[in-house]
Amino acid sequence: MNAHVLLINEDAAERRSMKAAIEAQGHVVHISDTGEEGIDLLSRHRDDIGVVVFDASGPVTAADDLLPALLEINSSLPVIVEVTEGANELALDAVRAGAFDFLVKPVSSERLVGVLDAALKLHNVTQQAKPARRLRGGAVTFADIVTVSASMSRVVELGRRAAQSLIPVMLEGEMGVGKETVARAIHAASERGGRPFVSVNCSAISPAQMDEMLFGSQRSAANGAGTTGKFFEAEGGTLYIDEVAELPLQVQLRLLNAVQDGELVRAGQDRPVKLNVRLILATSRDLIEEVKSGRFREDLYYRLNVFPITIAALRRRKEDIPHLVRSFVERFSLEQRLSKTLSIEASAMALLTAFDWPGNTRQLENAVFRAVVLADGVSLKERDFPHIAAQVASRRPSGLGFVGESMSSSDPSAIAKAQAALFDRPPAGASQTVAQTQAYAAAAMANVIVSTDDAGNVRKLAEIEEELIRFALKFYRGQMSQVARKLGIGRSTLYRKLKDYGIDPDNPQKDAA
């Protein structure tokens, strides 16, 4: 499998060594000693280059600057980052930001070739899978939103209500939580479902281009070029403006006038035309803070924030993770034309559930896609998610494993560390008794809530809810505001539930788990 590889490295000797190892596999190597030159090479050969390897240890090729620039040119391109020994956090940050893998210097030829082969395999399959994924990505309905969590079910309920009107909708949430999916579902369920859904991401456009992108520009005599503008492209349908907080103030003013007046002047015309566009906006920022800081117009905020819908981060609704994983595995198995849908082992599912997913659903989807493409068996295992395992392991307290892993009661120090990690208390002294040790073991595993009773039947929801509330009271030391916030309920609801379960609200820790 001959491929084109872009190698960005400031060290001439290292460049020559890596180039020789890559060319020995029959690949074509493009070399650059600076990040700027590498970006230029990728821009000119974006259809040919199948993988990029760059050294992030030098000041000129810093990962936090170069990696986003490379992925902006080709978001599906596997990028391999090279770091110095001991720079584990830099490597993990790069992976979180979208890098395919990392290499620790000095890099052996075997390790380099192995990582390249895996990256090229993923790239080739990704290119072949694009048509299938686009076919599925047509009309998105609320039925396509996979969820069992109360918070996401509420989002679906609010979305269905929003679809019945034409008022502006503001979708709030971190990047990757699925705001565009919800926007498309609202559009599909509305009376405009058969009309255009036009999307524009303000974070991907330079401020100087935003006005033209939204409202269009006049065809010039010099080059004959002109743009229609997203507002006019969405005529009769829905315009989805992602990261609306990125709009410059002058564009915000023009947007405000369009919303207030319900009309716009087309480029090259004198008279305004009536707008027939439904607006759905999205932001990953706190717009109230943006208003306070003067970066977002207050009058525009109140015009657009008519029907706000907040989508919780994936780490706040981990009960959705197993269902999302199974859905992704089934879809990607089908897209890769596998003879049978891959299964996923319990340890792998526990690993994915333990991770906090800073990139939310989008990051989870990409991780599962990579695992399915590179899988060499009939099931996905922990080893198929190496980067996730590395990050979870780096954050896992010593002596505390995944749910389902055993913890020996003969190791007091490990149990004490687990206890300290769970409840933020210092470990007990070496002279602790057997009873104390057993207490620590019980506390360490207290975050496991059993879903079935002794007879194998599913337990009542109220019983599980009571256990979770008692554990939260202990975990957060009776701080009622924090307990309510972490449980996703209001303080008044929390106090009512305490009363229902016979827990003294004046001394909640007394009855805590």
159-181 pLDDT, tens per residue?
999 999 999 999 999 989 999 99
Find out whether the peptide bond into 505 is cis, omega within 30 degrees of 0. Answer: no
Residue spans of beta strands (DSSP E) within 97-237: 101-104, 169-172, 197-201
At residue 337, does pLDDT exceed 60? Answer: yes
Q: Which one has a higher pLDDT value, 109 or 452?
A: 109
In the three-class reduction of DSSP (H, G, I as helix; E, B as strand; rest coil), residue 483 is classed as helix
pLDDT for 424: 39
The C-alpha angle 319, 356, 359, rounded to 5 degrees, equals: 105
In SS3 terms, 249-283 reads as: HHHHHHHHHHHHHCEEECCCCCCEEECCCEEEEEE
**Phi and psi for 487 in degrees, rounded to 5?**
-80, -10
Alpha-carbon torsion, ordered 469, 471, 473, 476, to 10 deg: -130
Residue 264 binned pLDDT confidence (cut-offs 50, 70, 90): confident
Residue 398 pLDDT class (50, 70, 90 cuts): very low
User: Rounded mean pLDDT of 105-119?
Assistant: 86
403, 448 Cβ separation under 8 angstroms: yes
32-41 pLDDT per residue, tens: 988 888 888 8
pLDDT at 137 over 60: no
CA 29 remoteness from chain centre: 32
pLDDT at 89: 73
Report CA-CA distances (Å) from 383 to 183, 221, 338, 352. Answer: 35, 60, 20, 12
Who contacts 216 (Cβ-Cβ below 8 Å, separation ≥6)?
226, 227, 228, 229, 231, 232, 266, 267
> What is the Cα–Cα distance from 85 to 106, expressed in whole angstroms?
8
pLDDT reported for residue 312: 94
> Is the confidence at residue 427, as pLDDT, over 60?
no
The pLDDT of residue 153 is 92
**Alpha helices, DSSP H, located in 174-313:** 179-189, 207-215, 230-233, 249-261, 287-292, 298-304
Structure-model confidence comparison of residues 424 and 253, the more confident one: 253
Cα 112 from chain centroid (whole Å)? 28
Of all residues in the chain, the percent with pLDDT exceeding 90 is 35
pTM of the model: 0.60
Question: What is the pLDDT averaged over residues 122-131?
Answer: 59
Question: For 390, phi and psi rounded to 5 degrees?
Answer: -65, -40
Quick one: pLDDT at residue 438? 43
Lowest mean pLDDT among 57-61, 103-107, 303-307, 472-476: 57-61
Which candidate, 238, 15, 40, places its Cα nearest to that of 107?
15
CA–CA distance, 198 with 26 (Å, rounded to integer): 43
Q: Give the SS3 label for residue 131.
A: helix
Query: What is the per-residue pLDDT for 449?
Result: 65
Q: Which domains does the chain have, with CATH numbers?
A: 4-136 (3.40.50.2300), 142-312 (3.40.50.300), 313-395 (1.10.8.60), 461-511 (1.10.10.60)
Query: Would you say how long the chain is, in residues?
Result: 513
Q: pLDDT band for 125, please (50, 70, 90 cuts).
A: low
Per residue in 444-455, pLDDT (tens digit) is 444 456 666 666
Helix or strand (DSSP H, E) at 343: strand 343-344
Q: State the pLDDT at residue 446.
A: 42
> Lowest-pLDDT range, 207-216, 376-385, 457-466?
457-466
Q: Which residue intervals of 305-385 are DSSP H helices? A: 321-335, 346-354, 360-374
Question: In this structure, are residues 124 and 88 in contact, taking their beta carbons and an 8 Å threshold?
Answer: no
> Mean pLDDT: which of 267-281, 295-309, 480-494 is highest?
295-309
**What residue has token string 């503008």?**
229
Residue 234 · residue 277 · CB < 8 Å: yes
Confidence of residue 189 (pLDDT cuts 50, 70, 90): very high
- The arithmetic mean of pLDDT across residues 465-473, rounded, is 85
**pLDDT score, position 396:** 54
Report the distance separating Cα 95 and Cα 85, nearest Å: 16
The DSSP code for 307 is E
Amino acid 64: pLDDT: 62
Q: Which of 40-49, 186-195, 266-275, 461-470 has the least mean pLDDT? A: 266-275
CB 7 within 8 A of CB 18: yes
CA distance 309 to 181: 13
Lowest-confidence pick of 245-254, 298-307, 350-359, 504-513: 504-513
Looking at residue 306, what is its pLDDT? 93
Contacts of 230 (CB under 8 A, 6+ apart): 198, 200, 213, 214, 239
Q: Where are the alpha helices (DSSP H) in 63-107?
A: 63-73, 88-96
CB 234 within 8 A of CB 191: no
For residue 252, give Cα distances in angstroms to 16, 23, 197, 203, 304. Answer: 51, 52, 21, 14, 11
For residue 159, the model assigns a pLDDT of 96
For residue 74, the model assigns a pLDDT of: 77
Q: What is the pLDDT of residue 226?
A: 63
Residues 372, 333: contact at Cβ < 8 Å? yes
Instruction: Identify whether the C-beta of residue 331 lies closer than 8 Å to the C-beta of residue 349.
Output: no
| Average confidence (pLDDT) over 460-483 | 82
Mean pLDDT of 301-311: 95
pLDDT of residue 63: 56
Q: What is the structure's pLDDT at 128?
A: 56
- Residue 101 above 50 pLDDT? yes
What is the distance of C-alpha 238 from the center of its chain?
A: 25
Angle 445-451-457 from CA coordinates, rounded to 5°: 140
CB-neighbour burial class of residue 130 (10 A; exposed 0-12, middle 13-18, buried 19+): exposed
